Structure 1
């Protein structure tokens, strides 16, 4: 079997090659994100796979449920890079990651001053602890809890990065966000999931960008059937830059979509500003 993690020089070479590829493809656009990818040893977070797989631009499944469905994975590097660029993390930021595993938390730590990562699954939490320790990121706080509620005792957060598919933006996430802070979340919109970057602006969230993606589903209180649509009733107004919405999809009561120049505006009927 090919070497896994016992060939440091090969690991460095493959990591550099992956980083160059992501830069060339446009997934990485900034020097800081490129440096983070160069620094974090991804193979230490997927220790049971060969180096060539650890440094491929692909998802690495880590855990399946009783039906064989993947419920935990190490995400595809290209979408990880895109989301980090969407988050625009600054050196002094405090970042909350919802949905753990370790690798993305290590990348976040390269970019931010403080990182807290939370997951509901004790196996995932244990794996994140072990990987972060092996890679030298012992100062990342790993919490076992339902990410639907964030981690209030560490709040507020300048950035919240969600690495599981969500159907909603819980009030707790917004409450734990600093004014002007940013949430990046893979949001289920009809039949598609898009990584949407939201900025807090004067008490509401406005989207800055949206990129098509795919993630394992959220567990815990935030879990919903596949055909659910986002319930954004917690906000008076939120703008989603998306290209399509499933025709005929039933929206929650009090919500409608208005198309304006290829942008859907989600409004709460009767709310201020609607």
Structure 2
């Protein structure tokens, strides 16, 4: 097998895992047409169709699925073997692909990433922002960042960023002048809430904790959105109360644009973790990032 054959097989794996030529192209940094041509060559060489293509999806045929199952461990071993050479370099080189939730991408990762890139100038950090939990390896990422309750037990998890975070409930002074200040989470049923919709489509209830008591509230209000900036602006404009990661609201609370309420009931939880599957050969860029995080902690 020559190198062009290997590249075509790698293209097949990328498309089969992403179920999309465009998605695979975005992850690999190549054009969708280049991947399509690679698949055409591979199928012509093998004399069998590997992928079923429709306008909405791309799925492996039975032959394609069998090939995919055999290729994944083999390509993993090849990547690991090549990366052994990388470990002999003075400084690791390559691309580190991370899948990161929006709050981490915006509020936590930037300062960490700047220090890491300065320490490892030959590593390219490729970050995709997503709030849904995915199989990072199958999707073509080296690692992901998520919160503890979303990490599978067979994954290795390394702390990244603050070890405790919390949601903060706040509203504009004009809102409280007009509608009063709630003294208990149940009071929120008569207040306007600005709600967040996750990528999954779920609009989660607001959860409050005090001692051994937990209260879940789903307030009605003028806005449900999946854009944090829009939600925050609505709260500052006095349209309703907002319950969100403290990192988003703290500057506005400090400036007086928002006023915190029900602090005794704010939900607190452990900070995020970098997670990745256990494997014999860890890519050098990922190994460097893990070591960097452990040194910082």
Q: Same fold (TM over 0.5)?
A: no
Bigger RCO of structures 1 and 2 (CA < 8 A, at least 6 apart): 2
Q: TM-score, normalised by structure 1?
A: 0.29
Which protein has the bigger helix share? 2
Give the structure with the larger strand fraction.
1
How high is the TM-score relative to the length of structure 2?
0.27
| Pair member with larger Rg | 2
